[in-house]
Amino acid sequence: MKKLVLYVLMISSSFVFAQSTPRVTAKVDTTSIRIGEQFELKIEVNDTTNVIIPKLDKLVGLEIVEDDKIDTIKSRLLKRYVLTGFDSGAYYIPQQQIFIRNQAFLTDSILINVATVPIDTTKQKMFPIKSIQEEPYVFDDFKPYLIWVILGLLLIGLLLYFILKKKKIEEQEEIIPLLPPYEEALEKLKVLDHKLLWQNNKIKQYYSELTEIIREYIEKELKVPALEITSDELINYIKDFKDAETLDLSKETFEKLKGLLQEADLVKFAKSKPLSHEIEEDRKDAEDILNSMKPKPVIEEEDDELE
């Protein structure tokens, strides 16, 4: 009787010990596949407490198709993979290290045979090897070129726009006939008046343009470089013309010209600021100078025709 009880206790303790010992297994649904076929790998752990199943690695000749999440089935953990192979040969699924309560356990390695698919050449007609086929073009292939084409068209459009606009302006511009020097000078004086330069405290610019009108007129009428010489040199030129009686200019007009040129030099170089009535007087003197130097009309004497 004692021996029977002892025997039962030993069997019970062995069973409890076996149940409490962690155990890991790895199995596949087939060990032989053809190229491209898929098979299933399952890793089971008979424990659920503090278990770590690392990612399947160190595969050679085999590829993972699916990697499912770990399932808990009662008191077991199940990890499922779907694998395949694309090269014929024999390949091992190496031992996988599973950690249970910080203790490492190894699965068995599994040999997988990947076989080629036999071809029955008596039934299957053989075709020649096809050349490499190029991928069809898509919109993204042309996008970089399309951007440059659009930019080029825009540039051409802008150039045509400005060319046509310039041509239109030129066509609309009236051809202004050349005026005689005296009339041209009077027109420039009117334009100068409308600018209101000295009224806006631009006195230096005003005197520069005023004397330039007088100098340009003298240069065209007397054929002297009035725009390029100094005021003193210009006065000497005018004095020589007057002394030689080639220019009919009164002493009063000569003094006005001399005073206007000297006043302009003071404004431009000595920063002089004449008063309003002085500026208006200089403007009047400028017109008087032009009137006094205006060419006299040529009167042609008609000879009586001899009968």
pLDDT in tens, 157-174: 999 998 988 877 776 655
The C-alpha atoms of residue 266 and residue 281 are separated, in whole angstroms, by 16
- Please, what's the largest Cα pairwise distance for the chain? 189
Bridge partners (DSSP) of residue 26 are: 43
205 pLDDT higher than 50: yes
220: nearest Cα among 249, 253, 184: 184
| Average pLDDT, integer, range 21-45 | 91
119 pLDDT higher than 80: no
The C-alpha atoms of residue 119 and residue 176 are separated, in whole angstroms, by 96
| Average pLDDT, integer, range 283-304 | 73
182: nearest Cα among 105, 273, 296, 276: 296
E strand map for the chain: 24-28, 32-34, 38-45, 51-52, 63-67, 71-73, 76-84, 89-93, 97-100, 103-106, 110-115
pLDDT at 125: 67
The C-alpha atoms of residue 254 and residue 248 are separated, in whole angstroms, by 10
pLDDT at 299: 52
156 pLDDT higher than 90: yes
pLDDT at 14: 47
| Average pLDDT, integer, range 103-112 | 90
Q: Tell which CATH classification among 2.60.40.10, 3.30.2180.10, 3.40.1080.10, 2.30.30.90 matches the domain 18-115.
A: 2.60.40.10
How sure is the predictor about 132, in pLDDT bands with cuts at 50, 70 and 90? confident
The tokens for 109 are: 């390695």
42 pLDDT higher than 70: yes
How sure is the predictor about 146, in pLDDT bands with cuts at 50, 70 and 90? confident
Question: Can you tell me which residue has the tokens 């020649």?
Answer: 128
pLDDT at 300: 52
| Average pLDDT, integer, range 266-271 | 90
Distance of CA 304 to the CA centre of its chain: 85
Contacts of 45 (CB under 8 A, 6+ apart): 22, 23, 24, 51, 53, 76, 77, 98, 100
Q: What is the mean pLDDT of the chain?
A: 83
The C-alpha atoms of residue 64 and residue 38 are separated, in whole angstroms, by 9
Q: Is the C-alpha dihedral spanning 284, 287, 288, 289 positive or negative?
A: positive
Bridge partners (DSSP) of residue 104 are: 99
pLDDT at 302: 45
pLDDT at 307: 45
Amino acid identity for residue 53 in this structure:
I
301 pLDDT higher than 60: no
Rg (CA), the chain: 56
The C-alpha atoms of residue 248 and residue 192 are separated, in whole angstroms, by 27
Q: What's the number of CA atoms in the CB half-sphere (13 Å) around residue 14?
A: 6
The tokens for 104 are: 């490492």
Ordered by start, the domain boundaries in the chain are: 18-115, 181-292
The stretches of 122-202 forming alpha helices (DSSP H) are 139-172, 181-195
281: nearest Cα among 272, 289, 293: 289
The tokens for 161 are: 């726009």
85: nearest Cα among 66, 62, 67: 62
- Supply angle C-alpha 158, 162, 167, rounded to 5: 150
Whether 47 and 22 have beta carbons less than 8 Å apart is answered as yes
| Average pLDDT, integer, range 53-69 | 87
